A and B are shown apart, each in its own frame.
Chain A
Amino acid sequence: MDITSLTAVELGKKIRAKEISVAEAVKASFDQIERVERDVHSFVTIDKEGAFKRAGEIQKQIDDGSLQSPLAGVPVAVKDNMCTKDMLTTCSSKILQNFKPAYTAEAVRNLEKAGAVIIGKTNMDEFAMGSTTETSYFGATRNPWNLGHVPGGSSGGSCAAVAAEESPYALGSDTGGSIRQPSAFCGVVGIKPTYGTVSRYGLIAYGSSLDQIGPVAKDVTDCAVILEVIAGHDPKDSTSIDRNIYIHSASAETNGLKAGSPNLAGYDFTGALKEDVAGMRIGIPRDYFGEGLDAEVKEKILAAVRELEVRGAVAEEFDLSLVQYAIPAYYVIASAEASSNLARFDGVKYGCRTEEYEGLHNMYKKTRSEGFGEEVKRRIMLGSFVLSSGYYDAYYLKALRTKALIKQAFDQAFAKYDVIIAPAAPTTAPELGKSLSDPMKMYLSDIYTISVNLAGLPGISIPVGRDSKGLPVGMQIIGNCFEEHKIIRAAYTLEQTRSYERPESAGMRGEGGDR
């Protein structure tokens, strides 16, 4: 039996049935890491010793019946922007290369309580700023489908680790598409939940009003199960929402939700794993399928929509307005928040401090200039500028007003449609080294994912085939806030029409692998 080809839920079942021991499951992951990591480079930190020690503890709890979660004993890889106690947490940045947090992020703690075994921390774009995982201080991650291509980003390490079967599942974070786009590029499934669903406590912030943690796995079932484990109201995160209460409150109605409607689920995501899209109204935004979208990507997605139609869904094109304003608004808001969030990295409390300096301000400047990469500096500069005296109204408030209008546009769309279907990215994974030279072009590639973050909506990315180069095509299903169950149901139904495709092991050692 090939353990690494199992989904997380399948593996969990076998572990609880004592067909596979936790140590065997963990060993299978490390064996696969041994085989492919040199090529793929999904990880920043691999914790073999810790994982095996933990495997023993979990095994005992499974054996004595105290641990029955579907994820008990299943290995997991965690994106390196989530704090893990006493384990390096670097955000793939030089400035945090030696940082070991004293506490564990709430989402990761929830996994630990469910008996997950953390095998390592995954590579990412530095501080989650980027769409290719090439801005990592520790070097780029490669796409397991073709090592000459990027895995996408910023959760590229998490998505590559799942696609390359180094880990049955992973956690990613999504500020502007950072789970959905690399999931699409790597041919795996990823969910960005409604803002406030998963605690941000312990997630090293990039854009606080946009960041959400979510699952990356081989199928929709895994994602629903993982989300159920990591989601929950956390009193340590003021922006965390108690969905069980909120969806029944008057506030929910201001989001166009009918309070108390049976369509709203608190934290029951697995209940939505049903093969049923009969009568489901699907909106296809015309603006998302026009110029700039790769023809093969478009074709695969529209084919998938037809599959859903065959099963009873009703799809319709419509005009989702303001699409072109999402990216500029996003870059103002995310950069402004980032400029403030990243101010704490100053060489005083943690992380690296420059070797030689004269006085306090010189220490700050040298530490930060040496510690941050180019893209991070670019966004901090932009963010500092848009907030500076005289520009706040023109840029920051303007962007927040635009965000309000974008949210309204989605509210109107969801009054008509249950879900919206869109590409996850305009193309399949680009080649390594082709994106960073023109940052503007890279920003533009986030066009289909960014507005979802601005409006706080949930979105899922699922594979819908491959292009002529053999690279996976991902499709995004977007739901109204708190309506994860609809996107899960649509994705699950679609998933039943096809079987999971894994990269050929030959592909993982394909051309361009010169490391």
Chain B
Amino acid sequence: MAKQYETVIGLEVHVELATKTKIFCSCSTEFGGAPNTHTCPVCTGMPGALPVLNKQVVEYAMAIGLAANCEITKVCKFDRKNYFYPDNPQNYQISQLYLPIARNGYVEIEVGDTKKKVRIHEMHMEEDAGKLVHDEWDDTSLVDYNRSGVPLVEIVSEPDMRSADEVIAYLEKLRMIIQYLGASDCKLQEGSMRADVNLSVREAGTKEFGTRTEMKNLNSFKAIARAIEGERQRQIELIEEGKEVIQETRRWDDNKESSYAMRSKEDAQDYRYFPDPDLVPIVISDEWIERIRANQPELQTEKLERYKKEYDIPQYDARIITSSKHMADIFEAAAAICGKPKKVSNWLMVETLRLLKDHNMEPEDIRFSPENLAKLVRLTEAGIINSSVAKEVFEKIFAEDIDPETYVEERGLRTVNDEGALIEVLKKVIADNPQAVEDYRGGKEKALGALVGQTMKAMKGKANPGLVNQKLKEML
């Protein structure tokens, strides 16, 4: 009988914080811009330049630590992690090893019906590296330091996860917490959230952990799931063949769906950490912690409960909407403007989710304003446009955030409530469709539908369907 294996997974998650400036200098953290435009002596490691810590980084890190139930380290320090690589201009990264800002926390995840705690070992602040681009023309690499010094929080979990599903649930949970805090937008594709997977396998029932590998370069949930499966298989095969798993860092190639070792003699992996003499310790008082705690925004669980009570929307809908801070913000703002939370919720739950799925987008990518959604709800509620027109208009809102009032006016999409005009059309429809008229009169209720359809078509969809029905019945 084949042996059963258990996968043991721990995660190192890097999150780029949503500060306006870098961690140790006042260069902008904005994306884009030509290479090396967002740089200064500090973030390019110029001789003599010195770092000065951005206070907002500490406050975001504290907020994340508290939301993930961590203990905040009252005296924390920065250390230098020494290694040579061109994306790292000082050839050391300023990070935290000995006294990280937060420790011993957990987040709760739900997979299927089972709830589980994933413990957080520690969380620390550090600086991001620059970007290396391979130059095909002369087979060299080009270095851009625009991202160098962007603040990161690295969240290191305990090896508490056992499957790709749990890993993704954990990542989604972290992402939600951090987005709610406004500490990061956590986009995997853009690299503002990155996960390194530490994975080992062991025979089911054994207590000891197997040798783990670390996998890097995972930039989507799908890639993470595939990499976990791939690495699990690779390790099991090695074990079955009686070979050893080597503790190493591997790079996942999602196109090839395989990983390769990143080892070289020149990477000694001996980082010679020591306290950075250019930075002074951070002393965090209880008052400071309480201030951060008090300013913590409403997190998802609280919001969900409030939605059910305040807006009377079902648990399922409340959960979907609150799963994205961005979507929840749109919901609340639109509901406040139009006063019809259930209608707003419907637009989000049905049409918005459908369009997101069609376009392979995340809720975070929604670009329309709550004002325009609210206007659309008002237009439909007032009977100014009918539901099929509304759907068409919403697609425009979703795509281009158009103002629905102007759009409806400009294109003359208002429902026609003019009885005289309607009766003229109905007369014509009755005259043109003698068979359907006869069927209806003969008791076939269905035939009425066909006539309504013809009428709507003739009126280019702008008729009020209720009125059409009523008048038709009268006239027949």
Contacts and interface: CB of A to CB of B under 8 A. Distances in A.
Interface of A: 82-83, 89, 91, 96, 99, 101-103, 105, 200-205, 207-209, 235-239, 336-337, 339-340, 343-346, 348-350, 360-361, 364, 384, 387-389, 392, 396
Interface in B75-130: 80, 82, 84, 86, 89-92
Given A103-B41, A387-B274, A340 B47 contact: no
B262 interface: no
A351 B90 CA distance: 14
Given A239-B277, A364-B84, A387-B82, A96 B47 contact: yes
B89 A344 contact: yes
B47 A204 contact: yes
B225 to A, nearest CB: 33
B280 A238 contact: yes
Interface string B35-58: 000000100111111111100000
B84 A201 contact: no
A208 B278 contact: yes
B50 A201 contact: yes
B272 A387 contact: yes
Contact of A346 (B41, B91, B278): B91
Contacts of A83: 46-48
B320 to A, nearest CB: 46
Given A103-B41, A239-B280, A340 B274 contact: yes
Nearest to A351: B47
A346 B83 CA distance: 12
A254 to B, nearest CB: 14
B48 A205 contact: yes
Which of A89, A207, A348 neighbours the largest number of chain B CB atoms within 10 Å of its CB? A348
Contacts of A205: 47-48, 278
Which of A102, A344, A360 neighbours the largest number of chain B CB atoms within 10 Å of its CB? A344
A305 B280 CA distance: 39
Nearest to B265: A361
B270 interface: yes
Contact of A203 (B48, B82, B264, B279): B48
Nearest to B82: A340
Given A340-B92, A344-B89, A388 B270 contact: yes
B207 to A, nearest CB: 28
A376 to B, nearest CB: 14
Contacts of B82: 339-340, 343, 387
A200 B50 contact: yes
B48 A343 contact: no
Nearest to B81: A340
A392 B45 contact: no
B266 interface: yes
A198 to B, nearest CB: 13
Contacts of A387: 82, 272-274
A396 B52 CA distance: 25
B274 A343 contact: no
Interface residues of B, number: 30
B447 interface: no
Given A91-B47, A396-B274, 17 more contacts: A89-B47, A96-B47, A101-B48, A103-B41, A200-B48, A201-B50, A209-B277, A238-B278, A238-B280, A239-B50, A336-B274, A337-B274, A340-B80, A340-B82, A343-B91, A346-B91, A392-B272
B143 interface: yes
Contacts of A392: 272-274
Given A238-B279, A340-B80, A348-B86, A201 B49 contact: yes
A385 to B, nearest CB: 9
B48 to A, nearest CB: 4
A343 B47 contact: no
Contacts of B51: 238
B266 A239 contact: no
A249 to B, nearest CB: 13
30 contacts: A83-B46, A83-B47, A101-B47, A102-B46, A200-B48, A201-B50, A204-B47, A205-B278, A209-B277, A235-B52, A238-B52, A239-B50, A239-B280, A337-B274, A337-B277, A340-B92, A343-B84, A343-B90, A344-B45, A344-B91, A346-B91, A348-B86, A348-B89, A361-B266, A364-B84, A384-B272, A387-B273, A389-B270, A392-B273, A392-B274
Contacts of B84: 343, 346, 361, 364
A105 B46 CA distance: 12
A128 to B, nearest CB: 12
Kindly list the 10 A-B residue pairs having the minimum CB-CB distance in the complex, ordered from nearest.
Answer: A343-B91, A387-B272, A208-B277, A209-B277, A361-B266, A202-B48, A204-B47, A344-B45, A389-B270, A83-B48
Contacts of B92: 340, 343
Given A102-B41, A346-B84, A82 B280 contact: no
Nearest to A201: B50
Given A236-B52, A340-B274, A361-B266, A101 B46 contact: yes
Given A82-B48, A235-B52, A360 B86 contact: yes
Contacts of A99: 47
Contacts of A82: 48
A340 B224 CA distance: 35
Nearest to A384: B272
B272 A388 contact: yes
B369 to A, nearest CB: 40
Contacts of A204: 47-48
A424 to B, nearest CB: 25
A239 B277 CA distance: 8
Contacts of B274: 336-337, 340, 387, 392, 396
Contacts of A238: 50-53, 278-280
A201 B48 contact: yes
Given A208-B277, A340-B80, A344-B90, A105 B272 contact: no
A194 to B, nearest CB: 16
Contact of B50 (A91, A237, A344, A384): A237
Contacts of A103: 41, 46
Contact of B47 (A339, A344, A361): A344
A331 to B, nearest CB: 15
A384 to B, nearest CB: 7
B40 to A, nearest CB: 9
Contacts of B52: 235-238
Contacts of A236: 50, 52
A207 B277 CA distance: 9
Contacts of B272: 339-340, 384, 387-389, 392
Contacts of A239: 50, 277-278, 280
Contacts of B86: 346, 348, 360
Contacts of B270: 388-389
Nearest to A385: B272
A509 to B, nearest CB: 36
Nearest to A361: B266
B94 to A, nearest CB: 11
Contacts of B280: 238-239
A345 B46 CA distance: 9
A108 to B, nearest CB: 10
B25 to A, nearest CB: 9
A451 B47 CA distance: 26
Interface in B120-165: 143
Contacts of B50: 200-201, 236-239
Contacts of A201: 48-50
Nearest to A204: B47
A75 to B, nearest CB: 23
B104 to A, nearest CB: 24
A336 to B, nearest CB: 6
Contacts of B80: 340
A394 to B, nearest CB: 13
